[in-house]
Structure 1
Amino acid sequence: EAEVGWQEKLFSQFEVDLYQNESACQTPLDWQYHEEILKLEKAGGRKNYRIFTYTDHDRFTNLEEHCQKVTDSDHEVPSYLAERMANVRRRRQDRRPVEASSLKSKIITWEPSEEFIKNNHVINTPVQTMYIMGDLGPYGKLGHREYEHVLCTIKVDGNGVITVKPDFTGTKGAYRNELDGEKREVWKYTIENASVQLQPEEEESEQHMFRGLYSRHKEYLSGLVGSEFETVTAEVHYLFSVSAQGYEYDNLYVHFFLELPNQWSSPAFQQLSGVTQTCATKTVGWENVAYFCYPFTLEICDLLPFLADSLPQWPVLYFEVLSLDFWQRYRVEGYGSLVLPASPGLHMLTIPTWRPVELGTVAELRRFFIGGSPELEDITYVRIPSTFKGERLSRFGFRTETTGSVTFRLYCLQQSKAFLETSALRQRVRSVLDRLGGFSQQSSVYNVLEAFQRARRRMQEARESLPQDLISTSASTVHQSQEP
């Protein structure tokens, strides 16, 4: 057993034999190890012969980081990128702090040096490394480099993140090291987290300190950004899964894209188009169905405020179904479109599709033997083309044929501050269209009705609080004044 501290040096038998000889000492670090080994020998020698360490300053650490392999092959040839990346030193970057004045004047480096390029073309976080090694040689033959094995690698970066590789064993069992040789010795070892657990009072004070730090940082960021921005009106999230059925050919795949109206936007990372994998069909009942098992999500946010007197347009999902045969020939099987549902929850929507056709037998022969078929140049022609600006759209002469159908199973999640109004609005308005389309008219009508109800209740309370004789006297007086 050996208790090892962070960056604590434990010498191996090879290093003891090496650094005892003064002729092998070349660098100041070698001379320091030479003196430490002499003191250690005078004090009685090492207490542990199997476990030793390589610290951040040792040559082994530099070589290990420089010669890392991408694969586990013994005949791996490093690529050009691996060779270039090996020259980037992420450890012990001696960077002097840059003052604010010089930072503003040197935003762009017009003539970068080789060292500057090596240090800045990747994320260069300073890292300190330590290796805990094991000398697994047979008894009496310690100190051979081929028997040195890395038991654990510990790295600490400049952000304070500690990386332990391999991980703590826990309930996974011990790690194994099998040696090559006649006896095929197997060594087992475990790595346990022996840190002292925090007391509940210390943990609570630490959490309180973190909360205070985060709140101050949040206030600092909000102070930099300011409050002169419009809040997000709504966020709509969709989760899809697709299946297709009733098509002529097998091995189907679906190409889709989402068209956003003018009032809508999406995050920069959101992809609004995609292609599913090719899926073979299976017989379900009387139809051949392809279950793609291809879930994809759509996130639509940062909506601009809608006009109260107009109904907002909703995003449309356009899709086309295609087939791929053994000879890599593809055929268009159908086009369709889906207006995304406005109400939250689970929706099962089956959309029938169609494809354009040509008259005559030659077109069908070409489709069967060669592949390919008439295609839409603009897929938005399924509904109203995005480039159409007129009042009437004529499709006279455009021949189509009904094909199969695509079933969408989608989940809709909506978030908006407009949904958190009064309880009366929450009870009467269910969909986001009702929220955003007629919100102002409905709120004004509800306000008038509530004001009327409040006035009526006050009148009833005032009438009940009056004395009964006063009410009867006033009623008889009114009755007498009505008589002729």
Structure 2
Amino acid sequence: MHDFKRTNKISGVRWLKEPIHNLKISIKIKPHDGVLSLPKFENYANFSDTGNAESFDQTEEYTFKWQEKVFSLWEMQRYSDVHHCITDTELTYHNMLNDLEYVPSKVFTYVHDDNYKPLPLNHVRKRGNKILDLSSCFEKLNLNEKIERTLLKQTSSMGHLFRSEENLDVGNEQWMAMHVVFDSSDYNEDSQLVFKQEAVLVSLYYNTTNNYLLVCPDENQLELNPYCAETGTGAPLGRHYSVGLRFQEQEEGEELNVLLNKLHKKWEKKHKQLVNFCMPPLGKKVYHLTLEILTAAEFEADELYVEYTIKIPEEIQCKDPLHGRTHTSRVLRSDEGEEWCFGHIVELALEMDAVADPPSLQLFFEAISTDWWGRHRTEGYSYFALPLQPGSDNKRLSCSRPEELDRVEASSRRFFVGGCNLIKDLDVLAQPQLQDANFIFTTTGSITLRWHSISQSPLPGYSRPYFRPETSGRSASALLLGAEAVLRQYRRAKAKLAAATRDFRDHDGSGDAPSLTDS
């Protein structure tokens, strides 16, 4: 027999005096086995020997920072596959899981970017079809009438002391949210998700405008007034938990680091206004390329997105990402036909030797469609060698899809499982002679591109060193080279003056040559 009595959860409001990023959320959770559950004899024997109660304590404690993202097991499985990541936040989580090693947790978090629940301004409480916001709640308090009835209208000034905020403008308030959630989902033996279920333990809403924090539910103690973990439908999960909030004290030197960072940002902002242009290094040429994936047309399936891969020659240096994908687009039908719009922009900064001719960049595109069943089908590949020439241009690329020689088997495989990946290396598109004879290409749709390219190089005969604000060492060497250039000009001017006054000195017969300081 289990005693799953629901505990009343009370929300709290806190006006913050410390920075919100120092907030620590502590969750203590333990199983609730009921009043008839007794400890086993083995546990009692261990307790007698050790003399402590740790053997009976099954309490687990979790601590989270403000806006700290902790992943559950099903989240890690979802975000590990890039095909499940559509929004920028999901792609960020995918990169986080690839760059660092994360351990899944039964108690995880939803941060503000997850948009897990509506903010307080959007929905506070529903009564019928009417939505009440904070301003309507303040109006329904009507404190003036209560105070006047209590004071029997003895003084008119006392009522102003208890007047509610009539001019509160909640429409301009900004909120940040964070939720701590317990993962009670069912998984199979291979840790694959079978049934998704979770319970919100605590929700925190931070008002950035007025600097206060809403906590739902408020702080409590696990021993005196624990909360019962429940699903969204109110079903108990057999867990009791407590909520604790505390602000971490700043370590020594942290305030100094914050101050230095602010000063550095102000210096960078002011320096950008003073130095608007920097020349490329001597002997180098810089190219700035803006590539835009505009539209796609003439494909059979809907829900299209385009993956691109850019291969840079060895003599060119580039630090920008060379692989990515557009968002998923739906077809737009008009009198001119069907079209998918993307408008995806890729910006590259390329650097190479100024004496060499710029080689072309290799651009590979793959149009992929999705369906309601989550299958991703390759609709077509395309290749384009983009020349690095200054100017603007656009091009429409035709796409082709590899298919097996047996068209019946290829059609069946494509219909049921989305086909198979016949191209293992994209270089086959650039060099058709590497093509395998086991498949053929079928023309499908097209992709429209537009690009803008500019080049920067030092002026011919320009020997004055340029100033780069990134490194102080280079700027110091530039100043020394500038001083040497000025000294060479001074010596050249002195030699010209001595040559011009030689005839005058010989005609006068005096051996004294005028000095530069006589004038």
| TM norm structure 1 | 0.39
Higher-Rg structure is 1
Structure with higher helix content: 1
* Higher strand residue share: 2
Larger relative contact order (CA 8 Å, sep ≥ 6): 2
